[in-house]
Amino acid sequence: MSRSSRTLMLGVVALVAIALVIALTGGGGDPEVDAAPSTTTADPPDATTTTSTTTATTTTTTLDPRFVELVERTSELIENATPEELAYRLVVTGLTGTDLAGRLRGTVGSVCVGGVFLTESNNNWTPVDDPEAFRAALTTTGYDAWFESGCEFPPLITTDAELGSVVRVPVDSPAAAPDWTARYVSGEPYNVLLDLQEQVFDYATKLDDLGIDVNFGAVADVATAPDHFMARQGRTFGDDPGIVAALANAVVQGHCDAGIAATLKHFPNQGATTEDPHRERSTAIGGVDLWETTGRLPYEGTAAPLVMTGHIFMTDMDTEWPASLSPAITTDLLRGELGYDGVVITDDLSTMRGASDIIADPGDRAVAAIQAGADLVLFVDDRDIPRVVEALAAEMEADPDFFMPRAQSAVRQVLRLHLGLREPELFPLCRPQG
């Protein structure tokens, strides 16, 4: 089901916008969204039909009453959610087979998860090259189905569709990243960026037509050597951080223009590692000093609605944990120094040895990632999820002073992303950070 058939109506007046923000922040105290105070003492208009009057136009918008009720109760929903309910909301899970809703209810244990990750390698639709088969796989997990199942917010539908290389869904991709870099350096950079943004808009529109919400496909890795992992795979925009930042930004903006949330990856910089984190521990060569002059630039002030942390060690910053599990890298560096306040999601925590070799138990890996500052943990193997939820819920009960509010804040971040997907005029997907 495309977003054109499930997106809620736009153009809500400022009073309703403030009400939504207050609902998400619980009345204040969260840095994710700042709302201007309301100066009116009048009773709010009927929430289902709102009239906005300015000096230029008058707009009447009818909202889905289920959504209005939901945003009015968001703070209450988060505060009253059980640890287990919150835990499910922190998880993006891969699913095995074509019965997506059945797999969620059976193996995973709940349909009310933070998101689902769909890929041809998990046999989520057949035949794998057929867009209609993909859409059919979502018919029992569409927007209306989540409301009917009792989930207040539908899980995010996510996939991985990079430019020309890793494309997990049945869509035709623009040219691969190195081709765009070659055009950029040999032609007119401004026109190349416009062309890239337009082609990515068309690409993301195809993802939207499939029913995708989030694409883990905006690669911002700066190749610090031609024999390093991402360069060997031909997945980066090259070794010039300025060019990488410009092209990655065009990719992000093209997605936002199409109403799809792009994920900038892999923080801090997978382009500085020789090892494949799927297979072994991965360490950034050159550490923080090299990162400052290379990998930092694509993330400075990024408007990307999500950033993915990689299983990447920067040993002069944290000798114990990779970025995905490191408070020093996720919270202090990404959140603190760079000022990023969008959604942070980890790279896969179930099958990649760059994480599983560090912490053996999948539940403990998830706890470490949320403690480090992630808002969502990605597990492509759905068999891990019961243990992950058990561990996250247990940690909330054991640590009500830190981990519980950390989990609640993470869920608020994800709900804010939902608003960006469904009310982009009020909550823009692309927001400059820092």
Residues with a known catalytic role: 278, 347
Q: Are 52 and 12 in contact (CB under 8 A)?
A: yes
Residue 349 near residue 319, CB atoms below 8 Å: no
Distance linking the first and last C-alpha atoms of the chain: 35
Alpha carbon distance 317, 80 (integer Å) = 37
Write the DSSP string, 396-433: HHH-TTTHHHHHHHHHHHHHHHHHHHH-TTTS-S----
Where does residue 181 rank: exposed (0-12), middle (13-18), buried (19+ CB within 10 A)? buried
Distance (Å, whole) CA 244 – CA 357: 31
- The set of residues, in sequence order, having a beta carbon less than 8 Å from that of 362 and lying 6+ positions away, is 349, 350, 356, 379, 384, 387, 388, 391
The residues, ordered by sequence, that sit 6+ positions from 395 with a Cβ below 8 Å of its Cβ are 367, 370, 403
Cα 288 to Cα 268: distance, rounded to the nearest angstrom: 9
Alpha helices in 104-233 (DSSP H): 131-137, 143-149, 177-186, 189-210, 229-232
Residue 204: how many CB atoms within 10 A of its CB?
Answer: 25
Q: How far is 119 from 411, CA to CA, in rounded Å?
A: 24
**In the β-sheet with 261-267, what is the strand arrangement from edge to edge?**
343-346, 306-309, 261-267, 214-219, 156-159, 115-117, 91-94, 377-379
Report the DSSP pairing between strands 306-309 and 91-94.
unpaired
Residue 257: CB atoms within 10 Å: 17
State the Cα–Cα distance between residues 213 and 199, nearest whole angstrom: 18
CA pair distance 167, 212, nearest whole angstrom: 13
Whole-angstrom Cα distance, residue 143 to residue 112? 12
CB 364, CB 389: distance < 8 Å: no
In the block, residue with structure tokens 């609902």 = 23
